[in-house]
């Protein structure tokens, strides 16, 4: 995802990818919610490893439970797989 901007179109394409992978509706909604929250945090900047690490630190500083953070980050880990298939 290095040097990429996360747009609503890319998120919409991610939704279609998740459907094609036959993810459950609840899983799809959770992944999209988590990716959109991450995108909102980006404020239009490029997605990099450093930005993802900073996002995790931000969640920790906002007193999110570690379990919740790990769950949110797990959603984001599916996103690079989507990107590696040439969608981003």
What would the pLDDT profile of 2-55 be if each residue is shown by its tens digit?
457 888 888 999 999 999 999 999 999 999 999 999 999 988 888 888 888 899
Residue 84 has what pLDDT? 60
Query: What CATH number was assigned to the domain covering residues 4-87?
Result: 1.10.150.130
> What is the pTM (predicted TM-score) of this model?
0.80
The pLDDT of residue 47 is: 84
**Cβ neighbours for 14, distance < 8 A, ≥ 6 positions apart:** 31, 32, 35, 79, 82, 87
Question: Domain residue spans in the chain?
Answer: 4-87
Counting Cβ atoms within 10 Å, is residue 42 exposed (0-12), middle (13-18) or buried (19+)?
A: middle
60: CB partners within 8 A, 6+ apart: 66, 69
Which single residue is written with the structure tokens 């953070």? 69
88 pLDDT exceeds 70? no
């Amino acid at each position: 995802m290095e040097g990429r901007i996360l747009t609503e179109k890319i998120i919409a394409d991610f939704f279609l990818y998740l459907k094609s992978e036959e993810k459950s509706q609840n899983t799809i909604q959770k992944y999209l919610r988590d990716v959109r929250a991450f995108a909102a945090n980006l404020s239009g900047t490029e997605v990099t490893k450093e930005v993802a690490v900073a996002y995790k630190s931000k969640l920790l500083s906002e007193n999110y439970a570690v379990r919740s953070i790990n769950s949110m980050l797990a959603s984001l880990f599916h996103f690079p797989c989507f990107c590696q298939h040439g969608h981003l």
